[in-house]
Structure formats: structure tokens, C-alpha cells
Amino acid sequence: MNDAGSHSLPETLYSADAVREIDRYVIEGGHVDGFELMQRAAAATFRHLVKVWPEPGSLLVLCGAGNNGGDGYLVAASAVRHGWSVACVAVADPQRLQGDARRAWQKAESDGVPVQRWQDLEPTVADRLFDGAGLIVDAMLGTGVRGAPRGDFADLIARCNALAAPVLAVDLPSGLDATTGQVAGEAVKADLTVTFIGLKTGLFTGQGPAVTGRVVFDDLDVAALVPRSGQKPQAWRRNWQSLAASLPRRPATAHKGRFGHLLVVAGDRGFGGAALLAAEAAARSGAGLVTLATRPEHVAPALTRCPSLMVQGVIHGSELPPLLARATAVVCGPGLGQGSWGQQMLQQVLVSEVPQILDADALNLMATRVPVRAGNHVLTPHPGEAARLLGVSVPEVEADRLAAAVSLQQTFGGTVLLKGAGTVIVGDEGLPTVIDGSNPGLATGGMGDVLSGIIAALLAQTGDPRASAEMAAALHLAAADRASRQRGFMGLLPMDVIDRLPELLGAAEGVVVPAGPNSGMLE
């Protein structure tokens, strides 16, 4: 059982169908009675509720028609036994409940829970229930519901979101697709989500991170039965804490030649900043050597900003092959533009055999070409670029981010990193990876350029495209989170993220890095 933050959550993510099949195996296999399992879920929910809100005042529990509603009825019963003021609203007619959910409703009533049907409430009474709630428990819609909520469920979701009262979601927020993370209409915006049996993929990608709040997990003491159910995970969940140990270590006798020579091809006229952000991020992420190939007018500003770079002004694509010949890896795309200069540069990169990270305008240019599969690249599209590459709309990409990333990988080969909340990474082999977390401060121009530079630097050092993409995405997010603690979200800039990279990399290496520019030198 896990009751801490995301760092202690399981690393396996399951689809809603898989979790339901695991649940069925546990019950129908005679391992645990269904009602006993429901009681365990309710007890876990109430335990976390009390831990976060020990004195919530009036508790409002909203119960739906399925087992999710049954969990809610039993949570309400626990609150009544705890001596709390409880209002329990049946969104679906409890008289029509069946099985364990019906038993839960009957137990709640026998324990003194005042259950009221939503359809029977006068508008003024309903208003008082919501306005007087100190805490709302959302047990309306479970993993079996797909598409936009309708009718009373949609109305109650909107009511929950209009209030200042905190919300605890049982298993998942109502309105969220547990498999894809899509919100087709409106979903409850929870402050805490207590989920069971197996972590659902939709909690961690798409709109999931925007509506789940903090996620805690309870295996309901059936973890040993999950592998025996035959259900396979849908994806892996990773973050910087889980991946930092994979960072390549440097021996005492290290020299720059051992950590790769990275070439950054970027920065058409007017876009020199994007090129420099990618190059500086790469330099801060451990690449032994970094060469920036850019428009000649960007050479002097780039050297002024970051003199550790080697900067080469290039006018024509024919100037690029000698630079590619020396490179261990290449990143192409930030500020590349879609004119003749950018097209020439991309063409030279694509025909080379150098491992490559393709981003931004490189992807936009690729969307106009006949797709050619390659195994030596990492594609890093945001949803808009992914939509152009696939010839679909952005909402279609966001409706199922894992499926979109898999489709891109099958079309173009290599490794695909689909950016966004709950970044998705897919390679030639193995399950997709979802990077756990989101940061609204990353919704700023230049952040993707920084990520490309980090991926390329790690690729130059490790030679492993997928591992580099996973580590880079997790490191990028962790650096943004650390910078946000000082800068907030609205004022966060790409340079702030770059500045935090040495701290995180140093900690992963076991080096104590002083905080701030005036903290003195390392000894």
C-alpha cells in the first residue's frame, strides 16, 4: 500500500479494461469477496481523507450507480461512525442498484447515513448542501464510463468545480477517461485522488494531471494477484527520481572526448535564441563538446552568451557534412525555419548516419514529405506538430496520446517523444513510457528547445535514444519544478530551467552543488 506522493507509486500503468479484468479475476477467482474488496477501498479512501482533512466540517458524498458509487456509500458510513456531519446524495436511484453497490447502499442506510436522491431535492435544499460542504467526495462515475457525462452527472460535476470546497475523487475524477486521460466534456477537478488495484494510465497523461490533484494508491492487499490475472500493463510511469540513477557516471580520469561531440543545427534569421537555448542546455547537460551551426549573424551573440560553445556560421547545406562527420549526435530544428536555408540543413542531417534529435521546424518540414522510417532519430513533437505529421487534428492527438505516439513511431521509426502533460515516449521495443508530472510554466516559447538540447547531450553520452529521451524529459520537468518554486509559473523562462540542470545532475552524481550564484566554489 502506498500513501505518499508520486515517488512511491507503482511504475506500472494499466488501461481501465485491464484494471476491471484484474478486479474480476480477484473476485470471481474466489480470492477476495467483492463486497470485502469494496469495503477495503472505502476504508483506504477514508483513511487518506482523514489524513489530509482531519476536520473537514460537513461532508458531502456524491454517489453514482456502479461500484464507484458503492465505495462512496461506505465512505459516508465511515464518516457517520466517525461522528461527522454527512450529506449523501444518490445521483442514480439507489433502488435500482445491484450486487455489491446495492449492499453498500443498504449498509450505509443501516449505519444512519442520510441518503437523499438528487432528483427529489428542492433547488434551495440542493444549493444549501453544496454551499455548506466543507469537503466533497466524488464517487459518481468510475472506470467503466466513456465519453462526456450527461444529465445530472454533468450538472453535478459543474457544481463541484464551481465551489471552493476541496474534492476527493474515489478511484478517478468523474468525467476523466481512465485509459487515455481525455476529458470529453467536463471532469471533476479533484484535490486528491485515491485509486486502487492498478494505476490507471489516464491519471498521468492528457487532462489527467489537470484534474486529479495528488494521486495516492492502495493495492487493497491484492498486489500479489495482479501478475496472475494475465493482464499486462499499458505503459511505464517514470520520473526523475526513478531515472536519475541511470545517469552515466564520470570516472576521475574523464576527458571531454569521452562524452560526445554534439552538433546543433538551428537558428535561421530571427530565431537565433532557439538555437542558443538548445546548445546551452546541451552544454549544461554534460556533452563533452558542443558545436552550434547557425546563421553567421548569430555567431557573435552566441559566443558572448556561452563562450564554451564552438559556433560555426553556415550559409549553405554543403557546409554541413564536415561538421556532421565529427558529431556523435545532432539536434536539428529549433528556430530552423521552413525556408530554403532550413530545408537545406535538414536534408543534410536526414541523409547522414549520425543519431539525431528532430524538433520544431524540422518536424514541420518532415510533415510535407513522404514519411521515411529511420532508426537513428528521436522525434520530439508537441501535439500540434504531431497532428501535422499524422495528418489529423490536435484534438484527435490529445484524445489518446499513447495511441498517437505509437502511430508516429510506427510511421517514422526511431523514438518518439510526444510533449505535453504526461509526456509519452515510445521506441521500437517495449511499452510506452509516461513521464509523471506537469508544469504550466513549460507553456512558454523555447522550453522545447531546451528539452531537445538535453536529449541530444544525453544521447551523445549514452548512445541510447530511448533512455536519453526518458531521462531528458524527466530532468527537464524536474528542473522546471525546481525553478518554479522561486519564479512561479507565469514568469518562468527557458534560461531558468537551464540554470537548474547542474543542481539536479550534481545531486544525481552525489555532488553537493551550492544554490545560487554567490554561494562560493565547490571544494
Q: Residues forming the annotated binding site for AMP? A: 419-423, 448
E strands present in 91-180: 115-117, 135-139, 167-170
**Radius of gyration, CA atoms only, the chain:** 26
Binding residues for (6S)-NADPHX: 67-71, 142-148, 171, 274, 335, 382, 449
Buried residues in 117-144 as b, exposed as e (16+ CB within 10 A): ebeeeeeeebeebbeebebbbbbbbbbe
Binding residues for K(+): 68, 138, 174
In a 13 Å sphere around the CA of 304, the CA atoms on its Cβ side amount to 7
Cell of 185: 466534456
Task: Say if residues 23 and 37 touch (Cβ distance below 8 Å).
Answer: yes
In a 13 Å sphere around the CA of 367, the CA atoms on its Cβ side amount to 20
Single-letter code of the amino acid located at 194: V
Cell of 488: 512561479
Question: Who's near 197: CB < 8 A, 6+ residues apart?
Answer: 19, 22, 23, 26, 219, 220, 222, 226
In the block, residue with C-alpha cell 527557458: 494
CA angle 277, 281, 287 (to 5 degrees): 135
Binding residues: 67-71, 138, 142-148, 171, 174, 274, 335, 382, 419-423, 448-449
Question: In 376-446, which ranges are continuous DSSP H helix?
Answer: 383-390, 394-399, 401-412
Q: Residue 189 and residue 169: Cα distance in Å, rounded? A: 9
Q: Residue 459 and residue 455: Cα distance in Å, rounded? A: 6
